[in-house]
Structure 1
Amino acid sequence: MYKLTFSLDDFLSNYWQKQPTIIKGGFANFQDPITPEELAGLTMEEEIDSRFVSNLNDNWSAEHGPFDQQKFETLAPSNWSFIVQAANHWHAGAAELVTPFKQIPQWLFDDLMISYSVEGGGVGPHIDQYDVFIIQGMGKRHWRVGAKDTGQYKETQRHEALRQIESFDADIDQVLEPGDILYIPPGFPHDGYALEPSLSYSIGFRSPKEQELISNFADYVLAHDMGDAHMHKPELGTQANQGEISTSDLDTLSAMLRAQLDNQTIVKDFIACMLSQSRHQLNIIEPSPKWTSEEVAEHLANGGEFYKVSGLRALIHEDEPNVVYINGEVFKVPENLTPLVSQLTNTEQVSDAELSPQGVSLLTDLINKGYWYSE
């Protein structure tokens, strides 16, 4: 089990979205949860998002996986990296690395990205728009971090698949060793390259942009067939200027535009449905044959557990704890199931030998969707 050597509360107060910092020994006696060979195996899987980046002789190239064995047999001795996104969805050991950060609201958590680099390997100087904790595993990596972007950094395109910037002055210039953590808030330029074969683990937190909220809300309104009405104005009169939009009409159309946004119930459902969906593919496998309620109840009664698919989001609103949003779906449950809701949203497993028939029915539904599973 991984445990931070520092207070996450103190860290959030002093550094979160304020300034980058390095925490030496953020994990004591750090042990890698995955080997380079296992990571290479993940890059061969079709459903897993992986990349290969090379910068030999400053000649940048990037490819998306999946890769085959031949790829690994033809690699140069230096200046390349393999990267796997959402590794926590596909590797149980890697997923445990996320646990110490779960006190941060999980709707903000994006994924665990793992990078294996040989000497000189990296992705070049760039700027991200999310918060990230970069944990150094095996090996050593040299990191540089500059001042926050206020428009002074110019983008450069060394390869069409890489968004990089030109060089920058470093405020942080250090070498990370196993167990060290580098935190970088949004907007700070950074660049890291391996000094020797090394593993890096990036735990990213990402909030939606305004345009994402607007675009997704429009999709939500259309999908639920809301607002299917035209402007109604039986008192319409003639006007002298035919090309003019009257203030009255503008007010009416603006009110139509705001109508759904002013409906708190609609907005709450939309926000939670959107935030409960991962941006990365999940390892969801529906069971065959399906579980029956009787089988679920018997499994729990015998001390069995059901485990949440790694990366699956189960959320509730603070003021409405009996409406659960899971992977974009809405589940309204009676108040007597509050303990079950707490397990669904706050833990990685469900184990309740005395779960009520209503609770068993809900859990059976979730299991048969592939959201929870039994080992």
Structure 2
Amino acid sequence: MDYQLDLDWNEFLQRYWQKRPVIIKRAFSGFIDPLSPDELAGLAMENEVDSRLVSHDDGRWQVSHGPFESFDHLGETNWSLLVQAVDHWHEPSAALLRPFRRLPDWRIDDLMISFSVPGGGVGPHFDQYDVFIIQGAGRRHWRVGDKTPLKQHSPHPDLLQVEPFEAIIDEEMEPGDVLYIPPGFPHEGYALENALNYSVGFRAPSSRELVSGFADYVLAQELGSYRYTDPDIQLREDPALVQPAEVDALRNMMLDLVNQPTEFNNWFGEFISQSRHELDLAPPEPPYQAGEIYDLLQQGEVLHRAGGLRVLKVGDACFVNGEKMVTSQHQAASVMASHYQVNSDLLGEALDDPSFLALLAALINSGYWFFVN
């Protein structure tokens, strides 16, 4: 399915992106769900798939995590099934992410899909990331409040909700409508009838995550071996005092590590190209030989990227699933990052380079790209 999003991106970015929420009516005209509730339930039964059931009754909230064996015990109201990273496991659903590639790939995280019966929802809460919520089959009532400090509480250890809020958006959504919510805006949605919702979430790494990730890289690469020196140390009256200049020198030692562009780019490429959720990888058996790959591409076969695989460009290097693509064929690597499907025309003369063919074979044999048999 080729989903076409009716959105003036320039106006949206200027007026709404990370500024205020908005409902875009009929953003997808004639919207067709890429999967059924039964298919979503089937995914929630798989060990590798991250899923949860959220239900409430008389103010008592319950959360259970998949994989699930059965849904027969559930009633007809007040529960939701939520499945993360469906784009990794269901190719037709992954097509819903494509219209949002007007925003950078590195910011897009995954596609979460929920099925809710009447009254189903996860309660009032706010997120620390941008999200577009696409209404599929059924109707859902959404309330969104202004970005103001609200007390949070946990009605269940696996849920974090906020106190009641005054709504600035209070509307029903129908198939094809899209709700955009920036970080920090409280919201709650309840199904009015059996309903499917598709949430396109965005990554927003915290400074804690960045520092932790970079520290791991420094250790792994054995960087930062330079030690503190003070050849001009001065006597001081109070030996317990750490001089401001000494603190500055120590801080600069740490900043010098971050301020190495090549190392920082390599770390960030590895860090941001890693998926938060398991990938549906199927390495071929037996593995492909480079010559076989060359012949197949020359015969018109197309390579498809595995669902959810993150392929990103940082500087003049490309990274895939936490690894740098080491090649002199930068244009071909860039094509593989920009396109979900690649053929011999797109890869061009790089196919005549044995080292690039060897890289391509390694990527295919890892299950990152595949031929459709």
Q: Which whole-Å CA distance do the structure 2 matches of 1:13 and 1:247 have between them?
A: 43
* Structure 2: gaps (5+ residues): none
Residue 321 of structure 2 is matched in structure 1 by 327
Residue 16 of structure 2 is matched in structure 1 by 15
Aligned-pair distance for 1:343? 2.3
Aligned-pair distance for 1:158? 1.1
Aligned-pair distance for 1:337? 4.5
Q: TM-score, normalised by structure 2?
A: 0.94
2:289 corresponds to 1:292: yes
Q: Which whole-Å CA distance do the structure 2 matches of 1:101 and 1:175 have between them?
A: 23
Q: Which whole-Å CA distance do the structure 1 matches of 2:49 and 2:135 have between them?
A: 22
- The 8 Å contact of residues 325 and 333 in structure 2, kept in 1 or not, is answered as no
The SS at the match of 2:259 is: coil
Residue 334 (structure 2) aligned to one of 338, 342, 354: 342
Q: Letter of the 2:325 partner, please give it.
A: F
Deviation per CA, 1:311-354: give whole Å up to 9, x if none.
1111113xx43x211111112322x551x223211111121165
The SS at the match of 2:155 is: coil
2:212 corresponds to 1:215: yes
- The 8 Å contact of residues 337 and 359 in structure 1, kept in 2 or not, is answered as no
Q: Which whole-Å CA distance do the structure 2 matches of 1:6 and 1:237 have between them?
A: 65
Give the 5 Å matches for 1:87-236. 87-149=86-148, 151=149, 153-234=150-231, 236=233
Q: Letter of the 1:95 partner, please give it.
A: A
Aligned-pair distance for 1:254? 2.0
Q: Which whole-Å CA distance do the structure 1 matches of 2:284 and 2:236 have between them?
A: 66
Q: Letter of the 1:28 partner, please give it.
A: S
Residue 52 of structure 2 is matched in structure 1 by 51
The SS at the match of 2:213 is: helix
Aligned-pair distance for 1:291? 1.0
- The 8 Å contact of residues 112 and 204 in structure 1, kept in 2 or not, is answered as yes
Residue 62 of structure 1 is matched in structure 2 by 63
The SS at the match of 1:119 is: coil
Aligned-pair distance for 1:236? 4.5
Q: How many matched pairs?
A: 366
- The 8 Å contact of residues 314 and 326 in structure 1, kept in 2 or not, is answered as yes
Residue 273 of structure 2 is matched in structure 1 by 276
- The 8 Å contact of residues 126 and 165 in structure 1, kept in 2 or not, is answered as yes
Aligned-pair distance for 1:146? 0.5
Q: Which whole-Å CA distance do the structure 1 matches of 2:245 and 2:177 have between them?
A: 61
Q: Which whole-Å CA distance do the structure 1 matches of 2:361 and 2:321 have between them?
A: 16
Deviation per CA, 1:95-143: give whole Å up to 9, x if none.
0111111111010001100000000000000010111110000000000
- The 8 Å contact of residues 142 and 187 in structure 2, kept in 1 or not, is answered as yes
- The 8 Å contact of residues 56 and 80 in structure 1, kept in 2 or not, is answered as no
Q: Letter of the 2:49 partner, please give it.
A: I
The SS at the match of 1:116 is: strand
* Structure 1: gaps (5+ residues): none
- The 8 Å contact of residues 274 and 321 in structure 2, kept in 1 or not, is answered as yes
Q: Which whole-Å CA distance do the structure 2 matches of 1:254 and 1:81 have between them?
A: 49
2:357 corresponds to 1:356: no
Q: Letter of the 1:176 partner, please give it.
A: M
Deviation per CA, 1:152-175: give whole Å up to 9, x if none.
x11122111101011111110000
Q: Which whole-Å CA distance do the structure 2 matches of 1:197 and 1:214 have between them?
A: 43
Q: Which whole-Å CA distance do the structure 2 matches of 1:27 and 1:114 have between them?
A: 17
After alignment, is 301-310 or 282-291 more displaced? Answer: 282-291
After alignment, is 305-314 or 181-190 more displaced? Answer: 305-314
Q: Which whole-Å CA distance do the structure 1 matches of 2:330 and 2:183 have between them?
A: 39
Deviation per CA, 1:7-41: give whole Å up to 9, x if none.
22322222111110001100000000010000000
